[in-house]
Protein backbone atom coordinates (compact mmCIF):
# COMPACT_ATOMS: atom_id res chain seq x y z
CA UNK A 1 0.00 0.00 0.00
CA UNK A 2 1.60 3.29 -1.10
CA UNK A 3 -0.93 5.66 0.46
CA UNK A 4 -0.69 7.72 3.64
CA UNK A 5 -0.72 5.47 6.69
CA UNK A 6 -1.76 6.42 10.21
CA UNK A 7 -1.46 4.49 13.43
CA UNK A 8 -3.37 3.74 15.55
CA UNK A 9 -6.76 3.89 13.89
CA UNK A 10 -8.55 4.27 17.19
CA UNK A 11 -7.38 5.42 20.62
CA UNK A 12 -9.37 5.61 23.84
CA UNK A 13 -7.59 7.34 26.68
CA UNK A 14 -8.39 8.71 30.09
CA UNK A 15 -8.37 12.44 30.64
CA UNK A 16 -4.95 13.64 31.67
CA UNK A 17 -3.03 10.93 29.84
CA UNK A 18 -0.59 11.56 27.01
CA UNK A 19 -1.15 10.10 23.55
CA UNK A 20 1.02 9.89 20.44
CA UNK A 21 -0.07 9.28 16.87
CA UNK A 22 2.07 8.35 13.91
CA UNK A 23 1.78 9.23 10.23
CA UNK A 24 3.73 7.73 7.34
CA UNK A 25 3.26 9.89 4.23
CA UNK A 26 3.50 8.83 0.60
CA UNK A 27 7.22 8.22 0.15
CA UNK A 28 8.04 10.91 -2.41
CA UNK A 29 5.95 13.61 -0.71
CA UNK A 30 8.00 16.16 1.19
CA UNK A 31 5.05 18.07 2.69
CA UNK A 32 3.10 16.57 5.55
CA UNK A 33 0.06 18.11 7.23
CA UNK A 34 -1.91 17.40 10.39
CA UNK A 35 -5.62 18.27 10.65
CA UNK A 36 -8.26 17.75 13.30
CA UNK A 37 -11.90 17.03 12.50
CA UNK A 38 -14.80 17.08 14.93
CA UNK A 39 -18.32 15.86 14.23
CA UNK A 40 -20.18 17.97 11.71
CA UNK A 41 -17.15 20.10 10.86
CA UNK A 42 -14.62 20.09 8.08
CA UNK A 43 -11.00 19.28 8.87
CA UNK A 44 -9.12 22.10 10.60
CA UNK A 45 -5.45 22.71 9.87
CA UNK A 46 -3.07 22.11 12.79
CA UNK A 47 0.48 22.16 11.44
CA UNK A 48 2.66 21.17 8.52
CA UNK A 49 6.19 20.10 7.71
CA UNK A 50 8.34 20.53 4.66
CA UNK A 51 10.83 17.74 5.00
CA UNK A 52 11.89 17.86 8.67
CA UNK A 53 11.10 21.56 9.19
CA UNK A 54 7.86 22.51 10.92
CA UNK A 55 6.86 25.62 8.98
CA UNK A 56 3.45 26.55 10.33
CA UNK A 57 1.34 26.03 13.41
CA UNK A 58 -2.31 26.88 13.81
CA UNK A 59 -3.61 28.74 16.84
CA UNK A 60 -5.57 25.53 17.49
CA UNK A 61 -2.28 23.86 18.42
CA UNK A 62 -2.02 24.67 22.13
CA UNK A 63 1.17 24.07 24.09
CA UNK A 64 -0.15 20.60 24.95
CA UNK A 65 0.30 19.60 21.35
CA UNK A 66 3.64 18.89 19.72
CA UNK A 67 4.54 17.44 16.36
CA UNK A 68 7.79 16.16 14.97
CA UNK A 69 9.15 14.83 11.71
CA UNK A 70 12.70 14.01 12.71
CA UNK A 71 14.09 12.62 9.47
CA UNK A 72 11.69 14.14 7.03
CA UNK A 73 9.83 10.87 6.65
CA UNK A 74 7.21 9.82 9.23
CA UNK A 75 5.70 12.28 11.68
CA UNK A 76 4.31 12.04 15.19
CA UNK A 77 1.68 14.16 16.90
CA UNK A 78 1.66 14.10 20.69
CA UNK A 79 -1.06 15.45 22.94
CA UNK A 80 -0.13 15.87 26.58
CA UNK A 81 -2.62 15.96 29.45
CA UNK A 82 -5.53 15.11 27.19
CA UNK A 83 -8.88 16.82 27.73
CA UNK A 84 -12.35 15.71 26.65
CA UNK A 85 -12.32 18.51 24.07
CA UNK A 86 -9.42 16.78 22.33
CA UNK A 87 -11.76 13.99 21.23
CA UNK A 88 -11.73 14.15 17.43
CA UNK A 89 -10.45 12.49 14.28
CA UNK A 90 -6.80 13.40 13.70
CA UNK A 91 -5.94 13.34 10.02
CA UNK A 92 -2.60 13.35 8.29
CA UNK A 93 -2.14 14.34 4.66
CA UNK A 94 0.84 14.58 2.33
CA UNK A 95 1.61 16.32 -0.93
CA UNK A 96 4.71 16.68 -3.10
CA UNK A 97 4.39 20.44 -3.50
CA UNK A 98 2.59 23.34 -1.89
CA UNK A 99 -0.15 23.82 -4.43
CA UNK A 100 -1.01 20.29 -5.45
CA UNK A 101 -3.51 17.72 -4.27
CA UNK A 102 -3.22 16.49 -0.70
CA UNK A 103 -3.97 12.86 0.09
CA UNK A 104 -5.26 11.86 3.48
CA UNK A 105 -4.55 8.86 5.64
CA UNK A 106 -7.29 6.85 7.30
CA UNK A 107 -7.16 9.05 10.40
CA UNK A 108 -6.82 8.31 14.09
CA UNK A 109 -10.02 8.62 16.08
CA UNK A 110 -9.27 9.78 19.62
CA UNK A 111 -11.80 9.43 22.41
CA UNK A 112 -10.94 10.99 25.77
CA UNK A 113 -13.03 9.63 28.63
Partner 1 sequence: QKEVEQNSGPLSVPEGAIASLNCTYSDRVSQSFFWYRQYSGKSPELIMSIYSNGDKEDGRFTAQLNKASQYVSLLIRDSQPSDSATYLCAVKSLGGGGADGLTFGKGTHLIIQP
Q: Which of 19, 23, 36, 43 binds partner 1 (CB under 8 A)?
A: 43
Q: Note if the bond before 83 is cis, omega within 30 degrees.
A: no
Identify the three-state secondary structure at position 30. coil
List C-alpha distances in Å: 93 to 2, 64, 85. 13, 21, 22
Could you tell me the smallest distance in angstroms from the CB atom of residue 15 to partner 1?
Answer: 23
| Nearest C-alpha neighbor of 62 from the set 77, 42, 43 | 77
Residue 79 φ then ψ, to 5°: -120, 120
Decide: is 88 part of the binding site for partner 1 (CB under 8 A): no
Could you tell me the smallest distance in angstroms from the CB atom of residue 90 to partner 1?
Answer: 10
Decide: is 103 part of the binding site for partner 1 (CB under 8 A): yes
Kindly indicate which of the ranges 12-20, 36-44, 64-72, 76-84 contains the residues binding partner 1, using the contact rule CB under 8 A. Answer: 36-44
**Where on the chain is the footprint of partner 1 (CB under 8 A)?**
33, 35, 40-46, 48, 55-56, 58, 89, 91, 98-107
Amino acid sequence: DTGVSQDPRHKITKRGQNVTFRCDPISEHNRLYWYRQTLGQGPEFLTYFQNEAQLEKSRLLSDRFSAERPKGSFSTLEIQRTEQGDSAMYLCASTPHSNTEAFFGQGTRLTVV
